[in-house]
Structure formats: structure tokens, C-alpha cells
Chain A
Amino acid sequence: MYIEEIRTLTNLPTETLVEIVELGIVEPDGQNLDSWTFSDIMLLRIIRAARISRDLEINYAGVALALSLIDELELLKMENKSLRRLIDRHMCSGSN
């Protein structure tokens, strides 16, 4: 998807989309604005960023920070879950 389609789907002005890209919230392929291409997942992330900004009344720099912390948290939770499963497995088979 090019920026025009993203604009239509999100109702966000170009300058907000540029800000979102410049803050690294999404990283489209392409060198300049007209050649930027966005994936489906980037679209979802932009929609999510816009909702957070609007509902929690925070600017996009704050949203970028929040999203990167959430990403990290999700990763750690997944890692934690898988390590816990591994420990449980060892504890169970060790006690048999």
C-alpha cells in the first residue's frame, strides 16, 4: 500500500503519517514519501498508534515510546512463558 491508501484507510493527514514514520513507529520500504510502501501489519500499527494518541491524549513521540515498551514487554512475556513451560517440563519429568 502507498501512502495515499493509508491516508484513506486511517483518515490521518500526510504530516501525521510522516511523523509516525520519522519516529520509527513503522518503517515502510522505499526512499521517499511517494515511494513508501506499507504492509498490512504496518497499517494495523498505524491505526493502533492513532487510537492510543487520541484516546490517551499523548503525542506520537509518547506513542512511539509506549509501543516500543509494549513490544519489549510482549517479547519478554512470551519468553517468560516459554521458559516457565520448559522449567515445568523438567520439574515434572525429573520428579517421576
Chain B
Amino acid sequence: MTIDRKSFARTIDHTYLKIDGGYTEIKLRCLEAEKHGFASVAVFPVAVPLVASCLKDSDVVVCAALAFHLGAYPPEIKAFEVRDTIAKGAAEVDMVMNVAAAKSVNWDLLKEEFDRFREAAGDKIAKIILETCLLTDEEKVKVCELAKEAELDFVKTSTGYKEGATVPDVKLMHKTVSPQLKVKASGGIRTLENALAMIKAGASRLGTSAGVTLMERYDKKFGC
């Protein structure tokens, strides 16, 4: 067995980033996350107060998805959103980077964005989303290096609204940021095999909406 059940569950950010559900769907995700011992419940900022209240006596933390899903916001707006979301109860913040800045080779703008992200997040967990499907390998490496310089906590592959995580991307990101930063793989992780492959490639966190199914498959495969 590569990873024990409890540790596997703790890699999962139980994610609900659809727009066609209501408060009931959010509450259900909180109950599921507590039951299985996931790392967090990941939602849009509008749902953060509700999740914070559902999870107040729990080890599961509140994770918020910021600048979704295009990341095309000025650094000051992004920093404002980080502060606002943390004030409303988020312990972890996953922010989409300014992809266009990388495409325009404007590393100064990205550096500013990352520095302001770190400052605004304070001691909370700061994860920067690359949207790897839009970047070349050289750009991925450069962005990972900037994230390391800014002392962020995680580099994360994808929003889930475009193409998702790949094993080669996770390996490349892990090689570039390890051991200072961790890697979160996200987008399209729906099978146990895929989830375990991401962990093997260096991911210490998985962003997925299939957490409950993954735990069921885990129990079936490893006979828990």
C-alpha cells in the first residue's frame, strides 16, 4: 500500500465549484468532508461563511477559490479578495494567476501579484493556480520559481474549468519547487489510479469533486 487511508483522505480538498447548486449542496459537502476526514472543503468565496459555520468544530478547514476562473484581475483587486475571504473564514486560499502576464513575459507583474498574495494571505495557506494547459514547460518552471521566491505555500495545476492536471506537469512542478513548496494537482482527477499517480508524481494535495468516490474505491482496492 502506497499511502494509508487517513493520509490519503487528508490529501483531498473536497471541491464544489459548480454554479448550479444551492446552500444544501454546500452543507452536504461539509458533512462528507467531516465523515471522510478530508483536508478541506473548497468553494467560491460566496460560500465561505456557510462552510466556516458548518465546519467550526471540525479539523476540516475552509478553502476558497479566488480570481476564478480567468485570473484576469489587477493585483490590488486580487489582494483585496484574499483579505476579504480570509476575514470571512477561509484558512486556505487558491488563487488563479494572471496567465496573460506570463504570456506577455511580464514577470515583474507576476512577481508583484505573488508578493501581494503572500502579504495579504499572512499565515494562511496560499496556493497559486497556474492553469498549466495554457503554459509552455519553460513558463511553468519560471512561474514555479517566482512562487518559490514569493514564499507561497503551494503551486497548483488547474482551475478545473479547462484541461486538468497531468502527471508530467506535477513532476515538473514538484521538481522545481520542492522541498520549499508543495504541489496541488487538480482538474479531472476522478479515478483512484489517477489520484495515486498524482501523489506518486509529487502532489501532496488533490483538488477534486470526486472525493467520496475515491474513498470508496480506496476501500475496495485496499480492503479497508
Report whether chain A binds chain B: no
| A interface residue numbers (CB < 8 A to B) | none
| B interface residue numbers (CB < 8 A to A) | none
